[in-house]
Structure formats: C-alpha cells, structure tokens
A and B are shown apart, each in its own frame.
Chain A
C-alpha cells in the first residue's frame, strides 16, 4: 500500500470495502454522497450488496436486518439523514446487533446547509434515539484517521455487539489528503457468522434477535446487562490524543476537525511564547474522563473549541468540575473557525488566568 491523495468520503467507503463490509444501505445526502457513489460502483463489482434505499428510515432498517443475519454492514449519511435513522438505531441497540454508521455532519438545525459542522455531538453521544442505550463514537480528524476508524468501527461493533458511529464532518468528507488504505480483507464466509446470528436454524436451536421485553423485570435485567457492557467498554476502549500538553499551562479540548484547526492555532501561540497544548478525545463515547481530569489538575485553564454552540463543552465541564476555568470558542451554522480566531481565544484565556506572563504582547489579528 502507498500514500495516495484521497477524498475523505471516498476514503472511508473504500476502507469499509477493504474491511470486509458485505452490505451497504444508504440514501444520498450532501456532504457525504461520494461515499454512496463509491459503494454503488464497488459493492456490485465485488458481488456484495449495495442498496440505495427509498429513505434513510428504510436504509437503517435494512442495516438492522442484515446485521441480524450476521453480515458486516454499514450506512452513512449526514445530519438530517441521521436524524431520520434514530428509531432504527435504537432498535439496533436494543437488539445488540453490530452496525457501523458514519455521520458526515453538516450545519443545522433542520435542513440547515451542507457546510462542515459538529452540531450532532449531543445527538450521537447522548443518544438521539429512545431508551438507555449508548454507542461507541469515534471522532476522526484526518482522512487517514477516517480510514482507520472505519476499519476499527467494524471490529469494535462485532466485539461488543454495539453500534459504532464514526462522527466526521463535511470538511473531512470533502477534503483530500495523503492517506494509506488498508489491505483488502475478504468478507467473512457465511459459515463463520456469529453464533447468535439468524443464519437459518437447521441442525441447531433457534436464535432470536429482538428488542422487545414485555415483562418489565426482564427489560430491566436486559438494561442492567447493557449498562454492564457499557461500563466494560468504558474501561477498555477510551482513546485520546494529547498534543504538546507536557508543559502546557493552557490546553485546548477539541475533537475532529476543530482539533486540527486548534493544532495550527497553538503552533502560532507557542511561537509567541504561550505554553499551549491540545487534548483531543478520539472516542467521544467512551469519553476520556481520566486523561482530561489529570490534565485539568496541571493546567491553568481549558478552552473548548467546537464547530457548534458548545456541546462537548457540557462533558468537559462535568469532568473538570470547576477545578480550573473552562472557556468556550465555537462557530455555528457551518462556519469553520479560523486558526487565527482560535489563537485570539487562547490568548484571551491565557491573559485571564495569568498564563501569559512570558508571552509576547497580544496583538489583535485583523479579520
């Protein structure tokens, strides 16, 4: 394999193909349609399943059905389309079948626009569908990571029998970047499907895949088992990147695209003598609670940067619990924050908490 210039949407679709995805169900929506387009071409030529469903509601229920049959399966969409999928996502969670959902977020609420945004954090991390379920949520910040997370998503989904969401945004879907695709992994033969899967009960006891437990005590026992599973996921699957936090007195907390914008901003701030780092949650659920808490013990202030009105901010505030000032800088509606603006917010916080003593005087960046 070699590094190629790849568009994010095409990259994750091809990564899914190479991860042995057997079936893709989706419905076109900008800014992720290139993924569907790529699957429309690739899946049939490999003898696999591609269906452009009549709606996102249909697509997610096709995912549910194929997952129940033990297939490696995925869908992808963008914010309004993912909203339509919420009922099916809850049913999938309630049935404990593995499925991968890629959300290439765009500006909202409502029809919004097709520009990059991170305004589905709460929807994807806190639920969105009904019931006490959780998903593993991965937040890639480069095209390479979008590829790697898509492959990882299938493995995690099957290992934990859960939904794994790859939470990207329009900029990651639309941009091109040098990245390396994984080697081709052929789909698992039908004979090797999971023991719980609905593969035809000839010569074995019947399997049942369902999210219904009419007896409340049985539903409660099931919920307790789900919660125990989520606790085990929390103990095993937290992923986080700390960038230049070793000597940092100020840290930016950001995920996905906002984190890479912040990395450019802190490079400039460091040139001005500010000791700034970035903590980037790679898994949004499970959230890197321990790493963030440890960082909050040693810095003077935290700046949360998001392409929304402050959604992950709620989790940061919960974890930090007023150990240290937490400030927020965000742009909404599909506007990407420029590194210069993030830099200004970093300087403002540094001055507020007295972490700018050695720094060069703060100069306003012309708009």
Chain B
C-alpha cells in the first residue's frame, strides 16, 4: 500500500479547558487502537488553564500515520462558540461539524458541511451527569461520521469496553453513564445522511 498515510478519519475536538476535550480525543484514540487501527492523538499544549481554550486532533488510519496534525480536518467537534468561530472555516468541504448548541448562540454559516447540532450540556444534565457533554458529542460524531461508522468497530458498545479497560477502577461506577451518553449522542445524531444536508445550529 503506497498511500498508507491516507487516514480513515481526522477529527479536531475543541472547547474550553475543563470540558473534557482532551479526554474525548483520548477515548477515541484508545478505542481506535482497540479496534486494530493506527491512531495519533495530538494535543494543543501551552501555558493554558481551566477556562482557557483546548483542542486535540485525532487521526485514525489502517496503516502508519504521517502527519498527526491537519490544516483542513474532515471532522470537528466544537464545544463552545470560540471553537466554532475557529474551526468552522477550516473543516474540509463535505466534512462533518458537530456543534454543542448549549454554548453556541449562532447558526453554522457554511452550507457545504454535514452539521449535527446537539445541546449537549442539556442532554448530559438530563442524563444526570453534566460533565459528560464531551462523551455525548463523541457518540454523535461516531454515529454520523461515514467512515468511522462504516467500520462498525467504534460503536457505543466498543467504546464502553475500551473505557472499562482504560479508566481507573475508582471511576468504574461511571461506566454505565458514559455508555448512556454515547448512545444518546448517537441517537440524536441519527444515521449519516445520503447527501450533505445542512441543518444550521
């Protein structure tokens, strides 16, 4: 395979520090590895603190990965307005944009993206775990991203198994809630549409 560097997916996850942006990316990367795929997780790192901005890039491929960073990601999860402002222009045409509308008060302007708009803070609160915003949105991404969905190896069930492996024992009482958050996100995102169907936010 000469073009092993062509990834199955590259995903940017962005939000405020403390929203679980880096963790959501790590969960995706761990799950990809468990699914027998190659993966890289690349964090924005800097003199940052809770409430500052945070983002990470996850690349998933079936062979060795070249660049762990991308200029025009195929997919993005944005957890707040500054992240939407930054990444909406960058997502590749025809790409997927998952928006946390609980913290975004404007519509997505581009009409060439598949937009999934979910009030994920409210959804997580309804589930009784307001900190699981990130996991709800990850569930939505995995259900809607055509290539990741087609793998059939990154379902909420698979991610729950991965979580049980990577989470320290003391957090295992949260495994059920995490799985519920993944499933709720997937349900709200629905299946990938046949063609790009802009929905606005």
Q: Which residues of A contact B (CB under 8 A)?
A: 3-5, 30-31, 113-115, 142, 170-171, 174-178, 244, 260-267, 270-271, 336, 338-341, 365-366
CA distance A260 to B6 in the complex (A): 12
Interface residues on B, range: 20 to 34
Please pick, from B2, B47, B68, B71, the residue contacting A260 in the complex, using a CB distance under 8 A. Answer: B68
Does B184 belong to the interface (CB within 8 Å)?
A: no
User: Contact: B6 with A175, CB < 8 Å?
Assistant: no
Does B199 belong to the interface (CB within 8 Å)?
A: no
Interface string of B129-163 (1 = CB under 8 A from A): 00000000000000000000000000000000000
Please pick, from A31, A176, A267, the residue contacting B3 in the complex, using a CB distance under 8 A. Answer: A267
User: Contact: B67 with A178, CB < 8 Å?
Assistant: no
User: Contact: B43 with A175, CB < 8 Å?
Assistant: yes
User: Contact: A338 with B40, CB < 8 Å?
Assistant: no
Tell which of B11-19, B26-34, B119-127 binds the partner: B26-34
User: Contact: A264 with B2, CB < 8 Å?
Assistant: no
Contacts of B41 in A (CB 8 A): 5, 175-177
Q: Which B residues between 42 and 93 are near A, CB-CB below 8 angstroms?
A: 42-43, 45-47, 64-72
CA distance A262 to B39 in the complex (A): 18
Please pick, from A5, A170, A174, A338, the residue contacting B71 in the complex, using a CB distance under 8 A. Answer: A338
Does B187 belong to the interface (CB within 8 Å)?
A: no
User: Contact: B68 with A340, CB < 8 Å?
Assistant: no
Using A5-B39, A178-B38 as known contacts, list a sample of 18 further A-B pairs with CB atoms less than 8 Å apart, ordered by residue number in A. A5-B30, A5-B33, A114-B46, A114-B47, A171-B42, A175-B42, A175-B43, A176-B29, A177-B40, A263-B5, A264-B5, A265-B67, A267-B6, A271-B3, A339-B67, A339-B70, A339-B71, A341-B71
Contacts of B70 in A (CB 8 A): 338-339
CA distance A267 to B2 in the complex (A): 8
Known A5-B26, A271-B3: A174·B66 in contact at CB below 8 Å: no
CA distance A170 to B42 in the complex (A): 11
User: Contact: B66 with A263, CB < 8 Å?
Assistant: yes
**Would you give 30 A-B contacts (Cβ < 8 Å), ordered by A?**
A5-B26, A5-B30, A5-B33, A114-B46, A114-B47, A142-B64, A170-B45, A174-B42, A174-B45, A175-B43, A176-B26, A176-B41, A177-B39, A177-B41, A177-B68, A260-B65, A260-B66, A262-B66, A263-B66, A263-B67, A264-B66, A264-B67, A265-B67, A267-B5, A267-B66, A270-B2, A270-B3, A338-B69, A339-B67, A339-B70
User: Contact: B33 with A3, CB < 8 Å?
Assistant: yes
CA distance A365 to B90 in the complex (A): 12
Contacts of A271 in B (CB 8 A): 3
CA distance A266 to B6 in the complex (A): 10
B49 CB → nearest A CB, Å: 14
B113 CB → nearest A CB, Å: 15
Contacts of A176 in B (CB 8 A): 26, 29, 40-42
Please pick, from A115, A261, A365, the residue contacting B66 in the complex, using a CB distance under 8 A. Answer: A261
Contacts of A178 in B (CB 8 A): 33, 38-39
Contacts of A175 in B (CB 8 A): 40-43, 68
User: Contact: B69 with A336, CB < 8 Å?
Assistant: yes
Please pick, from A142, A244, A261, A365, the residue contacting B69 in the complex, using a CB distance under 8 A. Answer: A261
CA distance A30 to B47 in the complex (A): 10
A117 CB → nearest B CB, Å: 13
User: Contact: A171 with B71, CB < 8 Å?
Assistant: no
User: Contact: B71 with A177, CB < 8 Å?
Assistant: no
- Which has the most chain B C-beta neighbours within 10 Å: A260, A338, A341? A260
Known A177-B40, A264-B5: A171·B68 in contact at CB below 8 Å: yes
Please pick, from A30, A244, A261, A270, the residue contacting B67 in the complex, using a CB distance under 8 A. Answer: A261
B1 CB → nearest A CB, Å: 10
CA distance A262 to B68 in the complex (A): 11
> Which 4 pairs of residues, A with B, have the shortest CB-CB distance?
A264-B66, A263-B66, A338-B71, A264-B67
Contacts of A270 in B (CB 8 A): 2-3
Contacts of A113 in B (CB 8 A): 46
CA distance A255 to B45 in the complex (A): 22
B14 CB → nearest A CB, Å: 17
